[in-house]
Chain A
Amino acid sequence: MKKWRILLATCMLAFVAACGNEEQVEFSDSFEAATESAKGSTVNLYMWGGDEGINSYIDDYVAPRLEESYEVELNRVAMDTAEFIRQLSLDQKADREVGTIDVVWINGDNFRNAKEAKLLRDGLMERIPNAKLLNETAQQSDAGTPTDDLELAWGNVQFILHYDAAKVDDPPESFEELRRWTEDNPGRFTYPEVTDFTGNAFVRHLLYERYGDELDKNATIEESFWDDLKVWSPNLWKEGQTYPKTLEQLDQLYASGDVWMTMGFNERRAEAEVKEGIFPKETRALVLDHSIASTHFLAIPFNAPNPDGALVLIQELLSPEAQLVKQGPDYWGDGTSLDLTKLDERDQQAFEELGDGVTYPDPEQLLERSIPDYGPDVIDTVREEWPRVAK
């Protein structure tokens, strides 16, 4: 169980700390020097491991390329993000300057925690040549928290809904219509709890419908907003008595036909699920009034044992080739974090030629309706106040 693991980790760390401290390993002076010193080393990438497509992108595509171009071995470690952030925090408390994690995949709450506790190295922009190609808007903020050069954008996606066209004849086109649709089809729609990343984002879309970007200045949400949600809930799955705990559970309900819509960040995420026969064949994209854009990032912990290897890995992950394959339908379908106008013509064309999947939304419409995310204050307020809806 969790607390035992933490306890065990603490004991082990106390032991390690008692054995004497090593000095923090520094970056080499330039990227060229870093590639030299990283040769023959292993770099540990810690990331959430719940998606087969993502895992095989790293293991089958990135790892061999890294070995070939830089002679660096890639070791992917699957772990819940909150868990390795906690491990880093324990490392810090125990003054463990040489840890085990070189690169982390991170965003949202986890980044806020890591930033607040100073667990990440800064100055990544100047150390990694490909960082110049990044989309500046995406790079700027992480779910409303300024990135401050502590992490580099790895992928950029937008929030959309998916529905089963075999069951939904007349899909809603706005949040208001969605509400009316659930009145006609009670029990066929729900959203994850707001402790879930996606569930919280869904409620923020409803907030944006009412408040626009006003909430950024003043994160107070009126009673009536929550009352409306409460009034809506009897039309949802299980009459709103309970909500899926995670997006995975919502996807499962969608896959089994219990609900007819699902949602999530990444407009291309349903393609692989449909191909594998997990999602219904007739799954189609649904873009409502507006869609929050979300970026996820890569960062290097303060106690990375192989920081040069980490630089090399991030350089590789941000290369146009690796980003192209990541966005393609073969592995992941994750939107690129690069600014296409900064790429040379050949690369630009390759991205354009990636083509459309049947579950993709109209890219122009999606871009048009894209809105920036609210800051962490709104996310926290939603988390604190929403439970009254589920009571």
Chain B
Amino acid sequence: MLRSSVALTILVSLLPLAALVFLGVESIGTDWRVLLSDETWRDSLFTTFYVVSVSTVLSLILGTWFARTVVKKGWHLTSTILKIPMFVPHIAAAYLFWLLFSGSGGIGWIEANERNYATVILTYIWKETPFVFLMMLGTYEQLNRSYVETAKTLQLSPLDQFKHGELPFLIKPLLDSTWILVAFISFAYEVPALLGVTYPKLLGVLAYERLSTGLYLEATEPYAVALVWTCLVGIGVFTTYFFTASVRRRIERGVRR
């Protein structure tokens, strides 16, 4: 029993390491100065950053709010319905939004294949909100209401009630969801390929394009970009978990000092 768990742990922790080594080896020969001053990659990086942060933040807020409301009001049917988009594959979701918002179907500023990437963000929100909802649902169901009650008795404002009575318990699932979403959205292909624009492209689309055209067997830049992005995400994960470690530990122990 112990041995298999050790083996599994080693395997799971080795895989990302192997991925990093792979990316490092493949990106050998990249001229970093040229890469960093390449406008196409840079614009792509900024656009990706914008799409990822907007979709992630909005999905987190919506998902948490839904979970909170559903648990508070005991809406079981809503809870089931909210999970439905999770079962739609991303490519199908992208196509659905493309049908809704392209050609004559577009409404105002929300139109497919526009530089504001609104439909890409919408697709991700529609797909990821249920995921966040599911992550937060468990937390809210087990949430000890007495902290909120105490806050109420102390006549704190609703915002302060949330801040002191709920937020500390949400930190861990919120962090988990955030990084899963960031890692997933940032290098995904299908949705931005269908709903995105020619310039600037999101990182995943641009990387795939560079890996399938020209003398692609010799291409190293896409791997270098993936390596940089992986490190950025890695640093993000490390710092956020590091700085919330003490709070999270306190919550897990259930002791408030």
| Chain A residues in the interface with B (C-beta under 8 A) | 1-4, 6-7, 10-11, 80, 82, 85-86, 89, 109, 112-113, 116-117, 193, 195, 238, 241-243, 245, 253, 256, 258, 380, 383, 387, 390-391
Contact = CB atoms under 8 A, between A and B. Distances in A.
Contacts of B199: 242, 387, 390-391
Nearest to B205: A245
Contacts of B194: 245
Interface string B179-216: 00000000111000110111100001000110111111
Contacts of A383: 213-214
Contact of A10 (B22, B193, B214): B22
A3 B213 contact: no
B113 interface: yes
Interface string B231-253: 00000000000000000000000
Contacts, number: 75
Contact of A11 (B18, B189, B198): B18
Nearest to A387: B199
Interface of B: 18-19, 22-23, 40, 102-104, 113-115, 187-189, 193-194, 196-199, 204, 208-209, 211-218, 226
17 contacts: A1-B189, A2-B189, A3-B19, A7-B18, A82-B216, A109-B213, A109-B215, A109-B216, A113-B217, A241-B115, A241-B197, A242-B115, A242-B196, A258-B103, A380-B214, A387-B40, A387-B199
How would you classify the secondary structure of chain A's contact residues: helix, strand, loop or mixed?
helix
A87 to B, nearest CB: 11
B103 A1 contact: no
Nearest to B197: A242
Contacts of B218: 116
Contacts of A116: 215, 217-218
Task: Give me the 7 closest cross-chain CB pairs, A-B, nearest first.
Answer: A242-B197, A82-B212, A390-B198, A390-B199, A113-B217, A243-B198, A242-B198
B209 to A, nearest CB: 5
B193 A245 contact: yes
Interface-central residue, B22, B189, B196, B216, by most chain A CB under 10 Å: B216
A101 to B, nearest CB: 16
A7 B212 contact: no
Contacts of B104: 258
Contacts of B209: 195
A253 to B, nearest CB: 8
B103 A256 contact: yes
A112 B19 contact: no
B22 A7 contact: yes
A59 to B, nearest CB: 25
Nearest to A256: B103
B217 A89 contact: yes
Given A82-B213, A113-B216, A245-B198, 13 more contacts: A3-B226, A6-B22, A82-B211, A86-B216, A117-B217, A195-B209, A195-B213, A241-B115, A242-B196, A253-B103, A258-B104, A383-B213, A387-B198
Contacts of A113: 215-217
Contacts of A256: 103
Interface-central residue, B188, B199, B213, by most chain A CB under 10 Å: B213
A3 B212 CA distance: 13
Contacts of B198: 193, 242-243, 245, 387, 390
A1 B215 contact: no
A112 B103 CA distance: 37
Nearest to A88: B217
B217 A242 contact: no
B212 A1 contact: no
Contacts of B216: 82, 86, 109, 113
A116 B219 CA distance: 13
Contacts of A253: 103
Nearest to B115: A241
A193 B217 CA distance: 21
Contacts of A258: 102-104
B216 to A, nearest CB: 6
A133 to B, nearest CB: 32
A173 to B, nearest CB: 28
A238 B113 contact: yes
A1 B187 contact: yes
B236 to A, nearest CB: 19
Nearest to B217: A113
A102 B217 CA distance: 20
B73 to A, nearest CB: 38
Contact of A2 (B23, B197, B208, B214): B208
A243 B187 CA distance: 21
Contact of B217 (A3, A80, A85, A238): A85
Nearest to A113: B217
Contact of A80 (B19, B188, B212, B215): B212
A89 B187 CA distance: 24
